[in-house]
Amino acid sequence: MTLNLQQVILYIGALVILFLTPGPVWVALIARTVSGGTKAGFPLALGVSLGDMLWPFIVFFGLGLLISLYADILTLIRYFAAIVLILMGLQTIVTSNTKFLSNKKLTQSGFLPGFSAGFIAVTANPKASLFYLTLLPGFFNFGEIVFLDILIISVVSFLVPMMGNLLMIIFIAKVRYFLSSPNAVTLTNIISGFALIAVGIIIGLT
């Protein structure tokens, strides 16, 4: 295993920041839980988390080919990841008071629709793919890590959003009240935006 504790903690922090940024999945999770209870919210949360868990494997095997073709690709990706995070942070701040609408595909009733919607939202979303393809190589050296490292990264990628989503389901009443306040949403987005910028700067400088 080549991972160190600092890398894992920084990665966990980035995942937490991204989770705390309100978006369509938040709205869908709240809508499903309010309408159908915990049983309705859990499938979406599980689908999203399993999708997050799959991305480290995709990046690991995909980058293996790129590294064999171009040894300096990791350095370029690391700086690109820093730029992406900073731009995401700036966009979050600029659009901090913009309302987001619920996607009807994410709020369909039933276990399978909820699970598949959550899974597809992470694996087929261009923003999610761009995030993981640039973020993961920014935190970890994919030229040195081994399969065990990927397993650890995948478990972390699963646990952070899953725990966050489960807490949202449990405390749905409080979360719903929080999201109903435009000022609270704006403040959360601004804080998350600056946090993303900070993480991007850290990646670029380390």
Write down the residue that tokens 């050296």 correspond to. 141
With contact defined as beta carbons under 8 Å apart, do 115 and 46 qualify?
Answer: yes
> Quick one: pLDDT at residue 41?
82
The domain in which residue 178 lies consists of 5-205
Q: What is the pTM of this model?
A: 0.66
| SS3 of residue 71 by DSSP | coil
Confidence grade of residue 141 (pLDDT, cut at 50, 70, 90): confident
DSSP string, 94-113: HTTT---PPPGGGS-SSHHH
> Quick one: pLDDT at residue 154?
92
- Count of the separate structural domains present in the chain: 1
**Interatomic CA distance for residues 165 and 155, integer angstroms:** 15
Confidence grade of residue 163 (pLDDT, cut at 50, 70, 90): very high
Q: What is the DSSP letter of 21?
A: S
Which is more confidently placed, 94 or 72? 94
> Quick one: pLDDT at residue 180?
52
Q: Measuring CA to CA, how many Å separate 131 from each of 28, 74, 82, 111, 161?
A: 21, 15, 11, 27, 15
Confidence grade of residue 5 (pLDDT, cut at 50, 70, 90): confident
Across the chain, what does the average pLDDT equal?
Answer: 74
Nearest to 171 by CA among 44, 13, 35, 30: 30
Q: Tell me what the mean pLDDT of segment 199-206 comes to.
A: 67
> What are the tens digits of pLDDT across the range 83-108?
766 776 787 678 766 655 555 556 56
For residue 192, count other CB atoms closer than 10 A to its CB: 22
> Quick one: pLDDT at residue 160?
92
With contact defined as beta carbons under 8 Å apart, do 55 and 153 qualify?
Answer: no
Which is more confidently placed, 112 or 64? 112
Helix runs in the chain, H state only: 5-19, 24-36, 38-69, 73-94, 111-123, 126-139, 147-170, 172-179, 182-205
> Quick one: pLDDT at residue 32?
76
Nearest to 105 by CA among 18, 25, 37, 22: 25
Half-sphere exposure of 170 (CA within 13 A, CB side): 6
On the 0-12 / 13-18 / 19+ scale of CB atoms within 10 A, 32 is buried
Which is more confidently placed, 62 or 115? 115
With contact defined as beta carbons under 8 Å apart, do 189 and 95 qualify?
Answer: yes
Report, in angstroms and rounded to the nearest whole number, the Rg of the chain calculated over CA atoms.
17
Q: Tell me what the mean pLDDT of segment 171-175 comes to.
A: 64
> Quick one: pLDDT at residue 186?
75
Q: Tell me what the mean pLDDT of segment 67-91 comes to.
A: 65
Give percent above pLDDT 70 in the chain: 64
